Amino acid sequence: MEKLPKLKPGQHVFIAGAAGFLGSHLVDRVLAQGCTVTGADNLHTGRISNLTHLKTDQRFSFVEHDVVTPKDIKADIIFNLACPASPRHYQADPIRSMKTSVFGTLNLLEAAQKSGARFVQASTSEVYGDPLEHPQRESYWGHVNPIGIRACYDEGKRAAETLCFDFHRTVGLDIKVARIFNTYGPRMQPDDGRAVSNFVMQALEGKPLTIYGDGSQTRSFCFVDDLVGGLVALAASPEGVTGPVNMGNPTEFELIELANLVLQLTKSNSNIIHLPLPSDDPKQRRPDIGRAWEMLGWKPNVELQEGLEKTIAFFRAGLNASV
């Protein structure tokens, strides 16, 4: 295992979006490094059950809060993960999604400026849109349709990055921006509509796996444990390491390969059906993670099969508990 930068024990960390899939894993990892954590969330797409294992942990507290409303925050580090991430969720109320990204990030940056906190932004590979450069390097400016159905998320996150770098340039705020590529694992919502959760649930329930288009589009899937390791390493890196830094697993799969692997690992008899490809669906996506390796010594370690096995076990346990 690489020697990754670590947080200082005793630091107080504020995590917006703490009840979500990534946020709840991040809370666990930050606590494991000896910090105290305040988790904030409006429970829009997150679940308080993702945090129930911390109920009696004195080092953790939770506050129900919508980041669209300004709030004073006393912390050494503020992470901003508050934003619906699945296309189904962010497209359900696109104006709210845009407000969350733009006003939410602005409010948290202002809070960081007031309290002198370091600020870590969960940005996304979606800033590259449907990329014309492959693999995607941080120097690529992207290919986003600004008026399409994904724009509320893509452009919201692009504006959020702009705000981070403008706070850095104008008032010297200590910022760090991670561009996260498709991440999966336990605590994903079974009905969030993403490829991994859909395929696993469909396979376990004996329903057809729904491939949008011909399944030749590609994604690079990162296991959640790897990803939160990268986020924490970035947060602990020296001041001046601002990013943006790509974080993801560079091994690229066609969606049809993912579906077949899920069928094999679940031993499911489900078949595969093809449905129309949503508009602006990126054709290919693979991170160049050279910068994360050079600056942080970070790279993912969990291969897709191993990560999927853990994810399948999580969804299977949820199904068994509900019968």
Interacting residues toward ligand NAD by CB under 6 A: 16-17, 19-23, 41-46, 66-68, 81-85, 100, 104, 122, 124, 180, 182-183
Is 128 annotated as catalytic?
no
Q: Which residues of 44-70 are buried (b: 16+ CB within 10 A; e: fewer)?
A: bbbeeebbeebeeeeebebeebbbbee
Residue placing its CB nearer to ligand UDP in the complex, 96 or 274: 274
Q: Which residue is nearest to ligand NAD (CB)?
A: 46
User: Binds 195, which of ligand NAD, ligand UDP, none (CB < 5 to 8 A, cut-off by type)?
Assistant: ligand UDP
Nearest distance from C-beta of residue 269 to ligand NAD, angstroms: 29
Q: Is 255 in the site for ligand UDP (CB under 6 A)?
A: yes
Stretch near ligand UDP under the rule CB under 6 A, chosen from 58-66, 96-104, 205-213, 227-235: 205-213
Q: Is 210 in the site for ligand UDP (CB under 6 A)?
A: yes
Nearest distance from C-beta of residue 282 to ligand UDP, angstroms: 6
Structure tokens at 290: 């050279």
- Write the secondary structure of the chain as one string of H (helix), E (strand) and C (coil): CCCCCCCCCCCEEEEECCCCHHHHHHHHHHHHCCCEEEEEECCCCCCHHHHHHHCCCCCEEEEECCCCCCCCCCCCEEEECCCCCCHHHHHHCHHHHHHHHHHHHHHHHHHHHHHCCEEEEEEEHHHHECCCCCCECCCCCCECCCCCCCHHHHHHHHHHHHHHHHHHHHHCCCEEEEEECCEECCCCCCCCCCHHHHHHHHHHCCCCEEEECCCCCEEECEEHHHHHHHHHHHHHCCCCCCCCEEECCCCEEEHHHHHHHHHHHHCCCCCEEEECCCCCCCCCCCECCHHHHHHHCCCCCCCHHHHHHHHHHHHHHHHHHCC
The catalytically annotated residue of 90, 128, 140, 153 is: 153
Among 38, 42, 123, 217, binds ligand UDP (CB under 6 A): 217
Nearest distance from C-beta of residue 282 to ligand NAD, angstroms: 12
Task: Annotate each residue in 163-192 with x if it binds ligand UDP (CB under 6 A) or - if it does not, as one string.
Answer: -------------------x----------
Residue placing its CB nearer to ligand NAD in the complex, 44 or 268: 44
Task: Annotate each residue in 82-121 with x if it binds ligand UDP (CB under 6 A) or - if it does not, as one string.
Answer: ----xx----------------------------------
Q: Is 311 in the site for ligand UDP (CB under 6 A)?
A: no
User: Binds 81, which of ligand NAD, ligand UDP, none (CB < 5 to 8 A, cut-off by type)?
Assistant: ligand NAD
Residue placing its CB nearer to ligand NAD in the complex, 31 or 68: 68
Q: Is 157 in the site for ligand UDP (CB under 6 A)?
A: no
